[in-house]
Amino acid sequence: MAKVATVITNLFEDVEFTEPAKALRDAGHEVVTIEKKAGEQVEGKHGEQLTIDKGIDDVSANDFDALLIPGGFSPDQLRADDRFVAFTKAFMEAEKPVFAICHGPQLLINAKALEGRHATGYKSIAVDMEYAGAKFKDEEVVVCNNQLVTSRTPDDIPAFNREIVKLLK
């Protein structure tokens, strides 16, 4: 079964973490939350609390099979820290599965990993993604090269979960 890293900080969009994490765990995979330090508490936009499993300095993309990037205001804060951008870039360069929803692709922009890729994301970042070289599609889920899975909003979670679970089979 796969070991899935999740980069996440305060003001994440609650269900964009909880529902994909549940779907992955229900399928037998392990989900590991990563922020600055292990043991810290982070809180979603709507009050969901979670405890961070690993600090960013204590992990490497080599330790994981896939990366999940939930949305909300979390990805924009994470990408202000170069360590999270480098961690994201390592998954993309290794062509490991990457799952990003809503504002999640903001980390992919900073990793300069969207050039030529088919992808979607939250409406507000569509122009950013196009400038970054993505072929933006306004669809509930976009799967690119059987590696990069992106969705737009919480409404897309059923399609997102279906594709991420399928890709890890």
List the catalytic residues.
102-103
Q: Are strands 49-51 and 118-119 parallel, antiparallel or unpaired?
A: unpaired
The SS3 assignment for 34 reads: strand
110 near a second copy, rule: CB under 8 A:
yes
Amino acid in the structure at residue 142: V
- Distance (Å, whole) CA 114 – CA 62: 21
Work out which of 133, 139, 167, 168 binds a second copy, going by CB under 8 A: 133
The site for a second copy, by CB under 8 A, has a size of 20
The DSSP output letter for 12 is B
- Rg (Cα) of the chain, in Å, rounded? 14
Q: Per-residue x/- mask for a second copy, residues 20 to 49, rule CB under 8 A?
A: ------------------------------
DSSP string, 56-108: GGG--GGG-SEEEE--BTHHHHHTTSHHHHHHHHHHHHTT--EEEETTTHHHH
Q: In terms of CB distance, is 58 or 155 closer to a second copy?
A: 155
Is residue 140 part of the contact set for a second copy (CB under 8 A)?
Answer: no
Q: Given the rule CB under 8 A, which of 12-20, 22-30, 122-130, 138-146 is the region that contacts a second copy?
A: 122-130
Does residue 123 interact with a second copy by CB under 8 A?
A: yes
**For residue 25, what are its two tokens?**
């765990």
Asked if 11 touches a second copy (CB under 8 A), the answer is yes
| From candidates 3, 22, 25, 112, binder to a second copy by CB under 8 A | 112
Token pair, residue 164, equals: 């991420």
> Least distance in Å: CB of 166 to a second copy?
30
Question: Is residue 132 involved in binding a second copy (CB under 8 A)?
Answer: yes
Q: Which of 43, 65, 73, 147 binds a second copy (CB under 8 A)?
A: 73
DSSP-derived pairing of the beta strands 142-144 and 148-151: antiparallel
Binding positions for a second copy, rule: CB under 8 A: 11, 73, 76-77, 79-80, 103, 106, 109-110, 112, 122-125, 127-128, 131-133
